Amino acid sequence: MTSLPGWNFDTFAEGIRAAGMAEPPVSKVIPGPVHGTDRMITNLASVNFLDLQRREDVMRVLLDATKQYGLATGGSRILQGVTPAHVDMERTIADYLQKESAISFATGTLANIGFMSAMAGTQSLMKGLSMVNRDVVFVFDRDAHWSLWKSAESLKFGERLFSFEHNSVESLEAILKKLQGKRVVVVFESVYSIDGVVAPMHEIVDVCEKYGALSYVDDANGFLVYGPAHRKFHQEYQGLLRSTFIMVSLKKAVGLEGGLIAGPRDAIAAFELLSGASAFTAGVLAPAAAGTTYITKLLTEQEPEIVDNYLAKVADFRKRLTDEELPITDTETCFTSLVVGDEHKCLRLFGAFLEHDIRVPPYVYPAARRGQAVLRIILNASHTDEQLDHFIEVSKKLREQKLF
C-alpha cells in the first residue's frame, strides 16, 4: 500500500476503516426501502423517502425526457442554456412558493454555495456592470447545515459572519440590534434533519423585517411535505412563504438530484452570473427537471394523499418507537433520530444494526454537535410492516445489550 510520508492519511484511513465508514455502500437497486447487491438489507438512510421513481408514470416521464434531451447538459446554463423542462420546473416551483422567479442548480449544496457567492462577493464584469457586496453581513442559525457553513467559510466570524442560538428569536434579535445600519442576510433552515425541529419561521421573518434584514431559508427537508392547511406545521410554513429567498432540494420528496432558489425576479436574474455555481458548472439534468415538474403537480394537485399517507405512516412508526421507550427525538416530523450521544458508541451501534441487515446512518460531529451523536431514521413509503417490526425488535435487543 502506498503511503505519503509527512501526511496523516494512513492513520486517518485506518480509523475510518475501523469505524466501518471507509467506503460507500454499493447497491444495484433504486435508492429506497432496501439496499444492496447480492443481499438486500433494510435501508433507513434513503432521502428518497416517497419512492416515487418506482411508479410507472414517473419513470415514463423520466425516460421520455431522457430520449428527448439526453443525459448531458452540454455546459453551464449561462453558455449552453436550458431546456423547456427547466423553464417549466422553475416556473412551477416559483409559483408553488409564491415567488416571482426561481433558478436551478445541480444540487442543493451548489444552490447554497451559489447564493453565498452572489450575496457576499463583489463582481465587476465591465464598466457599468458591477455588484459590490463586500459589506454584507450574514447571521446563521448555529445549527444550519454543513453546506451553508461551508459556503460562508471565507467570511471572518465576528465581522461578516455571526450566529444565533438554534431557533432562538430572542438571540437573533439581539444580534440584529447590534448590526443596525448594515446590510444583513439571515440564514436558517425550515426543518432540521438531525432533531426534526421546525423553525419558528413567522417569528424569524418578523424580526428580519423589523430590522430590515433579508431572509434565506433552506427548505431542503420540508419541500412538498409541509405547508398545506390540513398538515402539521402549516402556520410555520406560512412564515416560510414570507421569507425573501427559499432554497429547496429535489432529493427528499421528489427523490431526484437538484436544488432551486426562489425569490425576487431581479435577484434571481442576477444569480445567473453572480452565483458562479450556475455560470461555471453544469446544472440539473433535463430528465430530473421534467420529473420534478411532474412530481410537484402530482403531490400538490393530483394525489396529495401520497404525502398524507406517508406522514400517517411516520406518525404510527414514531408511536411504536415511543411505546417501546426507545430514545427518539421529540418533534413529529418525517425525520426521527435515535439519540445516542457518544460518537464511538454511535458508530458501534451503526455496525451492530448492519449485522442484523439494517442500515441506519450515524450522524456524528460535524453533522451533529459534539457529544450529541444520533442514528437518523428516514422511513420510506415502501417499507413493509415486516421490515419495521424487525427494526424495532433489533433495537430492543441492542438496548438490552446496553449498546445504547
Where residue 356 sits, what CATH number does that domain have?
3.90.1150.10
Indicate whether 148 and 201 sit together in one domain: yes
* Domain at 152, CATH number: 3.40.640.10
DSSP 53: G
Query: What count of other Cβ atoms lies within 10 Å of the Cβ of residue 386?
Result: 9
Instruction: Provide the residue range defining the domain that includes 151.
Output: 56-302
Statement: residue 383 has pLDDT above 80: yes
* H helix or E strand, kind and range, residue 259: strand 259-263
* Cβ neighbours of residue 289 closer than 8 Å, sequence gap 6 or more: 65, 83, 85, 86, 88, 89, 104, 258
Indicate whether 135 and 275 sit together in one domain: yes
* H helix or E strand, kind and range, residue 150: helix 146-151
Confidence bin at 136 (pLDDT 50/70/90):
very high
Strand partners, 359: 43
Indicate whether 246 and 97 sit together in one domain: yes
Helix pair 84-96, 286-297: axis angle to 10 deg: 40
Structure confidence by residue, pLDDT tens digits, 21-58 = 778 888 898 888 899 888 899 999 999 999 999 999 99
Please indicate, yes or no, if residue 3 is contained in any of the structural domains: no
Indicate whether 36 and 92 sit together in one domain: no
User: For strand 184-189 and strand 214-218, is the pairing parallel, antiparallel, or unpaired?
Assistant: parallel
* H helix or E strand, kind and range, residue 206: helix 201-210
Please indicate, yes or no, if residue 1 is contained in any of the structural domains: no
Confidence bin at 129 (pLDDT 50/70/90):
confident
Indicate whether 152 and 278 sit together in one domain: yes
* Cβ neighbours of residue 64 closer than 8 Å, sequence gap 6 or more: 290
Indicate whether 266 and 395 sit together in one domain: no
Cell of 156: 471572518
Please indicate, yes or no, if residue 207 is contained in any of the structural domains: yes
Please indicate, yes or no, if residue 8 is contained in any of the structural domains: no
Please indicate, yes or no, if residue 9 is contained in any of the structural domains: no
Structure confidence by residue, pLDDT tens digits, 190-209 = 999 988 999 999 999 999 99
Q: Last residue of a domain, which of 276, 302, 328?
A: 302
Cα 355 from Cα 341, distance rounded (Å): 21
Q: Last residue of a domain, which of 273, 302, 331?
A: 302
Q: Is the peptide bond before 366 cis (omega within 30 degrees of 0)?
A: yes
Cell of 79: 453558455
Indicate whether 332 and 258 sit together in one domain: no
Provide the percentage of residues in the chain whose pLDDT is more than 70. Answer: 100
Indicate whether 295 and 376 sit together in one domain: no
Please indicate, yes or no, if residue 36 is contained in any of the structural domains: yes
Q: What share of the chain is helix, strand, coil (3-state, %, to 5)?
A: 40, 15, 40
Mean pLDDT of 258-267: 97
Indicate whether 238 and 129 sit together in one domain: yes
Indicate whether 128 and 230 sit together in one domain: yes
Mean pLDDT of 240-247: 98
Query: Which pLDDT score is estimated for 1?
Result: 61
Q: Last residue of a domain, which of 268, 302, 336?
A: 302
Number of structural domains (the chain) is 2
Please indicate, yes or no, if residue 51 is contained in any of the structural domains: no
Mean pLDDT of 110-124: 91
Indicate whether 334 and 285 sit together in one domain: no
Mean pLDDT of 303-312: 97
Contacts within 8 Å (CB) and 24+ apart, 161-166: 161/137, 162/137, 162/138, 163/139, 164/139, 164/140, 166/141, 166/142, 166/192, 166/197
Please indicate, yes or no, if residue 282 is contained in any of the structural domains: yes
Confidence bin at 80 (pLDDT 50/70/90):
confident
Indicate whether 286 and 319 sit together in one domain: no
